[in-house]
Amino acid sequence: MEKRTILAFVLSFLVLLIWSHFFTTKQDKTVREKPPASHEQQKEINPDISRAGDESSPASSQGQVDQVSRECPKIEEKEIIVDTPLYKAVFSNRGPSIRSFQLKNYRQTVDPDSPPIELVHLENNTADFFLISFSTQTSIPDKTMAYEADHQNLMLENGGEAKDVVFHSATPEGLLIRQSFRFYPDHYRIDMVMDVVNQSQSSKEGVFVTDMTTLPPKKKSGYSSFAGLALYVNRKLTELKIEKASEQPVINGQIDWMAYEDGYFMSAIIPSEISQRTFKGSLLPSGLLKGSCLSPPISIMPSQQISSQYTLYFGPRDLAKLKEVGRDLDRAVEFGWFDIIAKGLLFVLVYFNKFINNYGVSIILLTVLIKILFAPLTHKSYKSMKEMQKLQPIMAKIRERHKDDKQKMNQEMMALYKTYKVNPMSGCLPMIIQIPVFIALFRLLGSSIELRHAPFFFWINDLSAPDRLFSFSFAIPFMTPPYGIPVLTLLMGASMFIQQKMTPTPGDPAQAKIMLFLPLIFTFMFINFPSGLVLYWFTNNILSIGQQYLILKKSSA
């Protein structure tokens, strides 16, 4: 019985861990509700969105365009640079759109000379990373239309005031378009207002369209992170994986925000008005990932002005910063099944780090805190294991006496446990209670921006990456690049082996062999895990060894 129990526990733990690693990203969801406009209406309003898989936009029907007497001025394309303490953004007056958005406080690698993180992933400006436009029944957004800008470049300094850039242009059908952007020196948030004035002699009907287009990353930037389009629909997070974008999902509902997530960073568009919207996602033939969101249809009478306000966020997936933006944007950061535990651990880690300024030491302190909280339960389980060891001779006789009758043997075993008031599963409790913490920490270390490139000591310069001493040019079996010596992982395996040796030996030889191989299994399993997770498990083993030593010393006295 004990052999089957421990084997089932080990297999369950491994299955849980593997499932958490590969499959706990929220499943793709398609929310189907009554759309804000019928399918035929949407085709009329914006044929570009109804065929989001097409890379080229068809020209507007000139026969239907309301002719106006004025002639639209020819405007050359210009770039406007916005330089703040947090980022450097390059806007184009065509669209207007964003050509580049670099985060100054985050590097591509741990190398201090590494280039800053670039959020715009497009080649040769073949598409617009970000575009907000107004589309009518008689025209679609002209993404090449140039706007006049009231500034050339902006420089924002720490402690300074927010600054604005205003783009304005006119369409052939008599609409005056004005887009105003407000930038802040101390925040990744950008406030944007789009005004549309009908200067023609007839009413117009159209929709506000928000587009995001990006080149999917070649590899994931986090061990358990998500990369793709994300929506907050009907107060639920919906994530659309890149590999499933070709299915072109259509989602209708109350869409509070649309974002592109790439591991530790995200780009989001949050409309201020809460209303029913339609989302269309697709993977273009060129390999670009595109998401478009349509507002409900709006009518504009002659001389009337309508406005639509947005909050833009281009920055790290930092819980505190996302909460400041509001509209549940922080819900973009989720850690799977044990989300509450992971966020609690993150809160404690960030709190410790305020005083220590080293997340590695903070992980050690967190491990000590967890160990103290579970110390009474651990002590009780060790005592139960000691009692079980005393019963081994009696259990051996029962096995011998009923070796041909498993049912009778199990009945006598249960009676024996009841008589001596012991629980055969109590020895597994210390490891069982750590499973939620372990998986939560695994998810946390794989996608939390706070731990990205966070150094510890010596050779460990990134707690979110595997520990590697030296760098080898040749491949090592069971190891993912970079190749090197996993010193901390080997120390963890050794500590687990010592802990097993100090644990009372099971009476069943088969069970004893299983327990003996556990350190080897865990060492191979941890070889590619974040070094912060290995540090947690290694520290936990050392504390367990010390605790077990004190218990054994006390019992032998």
* pLDDT exceeds cutoff 80 at 68: no
Mean pLDDT lowest among 168-182, 308-322, 464-478, 493-507:
493-507
Q: What is the pLDDT of residues 359-408, one digit of tens each?
A: 999 999 999 998 888 887 777 777 777 777 778 788 888 888 887 888 88
Please indicate, yes or no, if residue 62 is contained in any of the structural domains: no
pLDDT of the residue at 24: 45
Average pLDDT of the segment spanning 180-200: 95
* Judgement on whether residues 153 and 268 belong to the same structural domain of the protein: yes
Q: How far apart are CA 444 and CA 318, in angstroms?
A: 12
Domain total for the chain? 2
| Among 302, 334, 366, residue at a domain's last position | 334
Q: How far apart are CA 327 and CA 309, in angstroms?
A: 14
Looking at per-residue confidence, does 313 or 391 come out higher?
313
* pLDDT exceeds cutoff 80 at 358: yes
* Judgement on whether residues 188 and 109 belong to the same structural domain of the protein: yes
pLDDT band at 161 (very low <50, low <70, confident <90, very high): very high
Rounded mean pLDDT of the chain?
Answer: 79
Q: How many CB atoms lie within 10 A of CB 406?
A: 11
Please indicate, yes or no, if residue 462 is contained in any of the structural domains: yes
Q: What is the pLDDT of residues 113-146, one digit of tens each?
A: 899 999 987 765 556 788 888 888 666 555 667 8
Please indicate, yes or no, if residue 72 is contained in any of the structural domains: no
Mean pLDDT lowest among 160-164, 248-252, 356-360, 436-440:
248-252
* pLDDT exceeds cutoff 70 at 462: yes
* Judgement on whether residues 384 and 465 belong to the same structural domain of the protein: yes
CB-count burial class (<10 Å; 0-12, 13-18, 19+) for 405: exposed
Please indicate, yes or no, if residue 420 is contained in any of the structural domains: yes
- Phi/psi at 177 (5° precision): -110, 130
| Among 289, 312, 334, residue at a domain's last position | 334
Please indicate, yes or no, if residue 29 is contained in any of the structural domains: no
Q: Residue 430: name the closest of 500, 385, 389, 381 by CA.
A: 381
| Among 300, 334, 368, residue at a domain's last position | 334
Looking at per-residue confidence, does 544 or 138 come out higher?
544
Mean pLDDT lowest among 25-34, 265-274, 497-506:
25-34
Out of 166-170, 219-223, 241-245, the most confident range is 166-170
pLDDT of the residue at 306: 93
* Judgement on whether residues 212 and 309 belong to the same structural domain of the protein: yes
pLDDT of the residue at 55: 37
Q: How far apart are CA 271 and CA 416, in angstroms?
A: 67
* Judgement on whether residues 266 and 368 belong to the same structural domain of the protein: no
* Judgement on whether residues 87 and 173 belong to the same structural domain of the protein: yes
Please indicate, yes or no, if residue 66 is contained in any of the structural domains: no
Average pLDDT of the segment spanning 63-83: 62
Range of the domain at 158: 46-51+77-334
Please indicate, yes or no, if residue 381 is contained in any of the structural domains: yes
* Judgement on whether residues 157 and 179 belong to the same structural domain of the protein: yes
Average pLDDT of the segment spanning 68-83: 70
pLDDT band at 37 (very low <50, low <70, confident <90, very high): very low
pLDDT of the residue at 349: 94
* Judgement on whether residues 218 and 160 belong to the same structural domain of the protein: yes
Overall pTM > 0.95? no
* Judgement on whether residues 541 and 414 belong to the same structural domain of the protein: yes
* pLDDT exceeds cutoff 80 at 226: no
* pLDDT exceeds cutoff 60 at 464: yes
* Judgement on whether residues 539 and 456 belong to the same structural domain of the protein: yes
* Judgement on whether residues 285 and 362 belong to the same structural domain of the protein: no
3-state secondary structure of 378: helix
3-state secondary structure of 375: helix
* pLDDT exceeds cutoff 80 at 21: no
* Judgement on whether residues 293 and 360 belong to the same structural domain of the protein: no
The residues, any chain, with a CB within 8 Å of residue 127's CB and separated by 6 or more, are 55, 213, 284, 288, 290
Please indicate, yes or no, if residue 61 is contained in any of the structural domains: no
Average pLDDT of the segment spanning 84-110: 92
Q: How far apart are CA 471 and CA 483, in angstroms?
A: 6
Structure tokens at 200: 């023609």
Looking at per-residue confidence, does 493 or 419 come out higher?
493
Residue 237, domain CATH: 2.70.98.90
Mean pLDDT lowest among 3-7, 93-97, 242-246, 393-397:
3-7
Average pLDDT of the segment spanning 201-215: 88
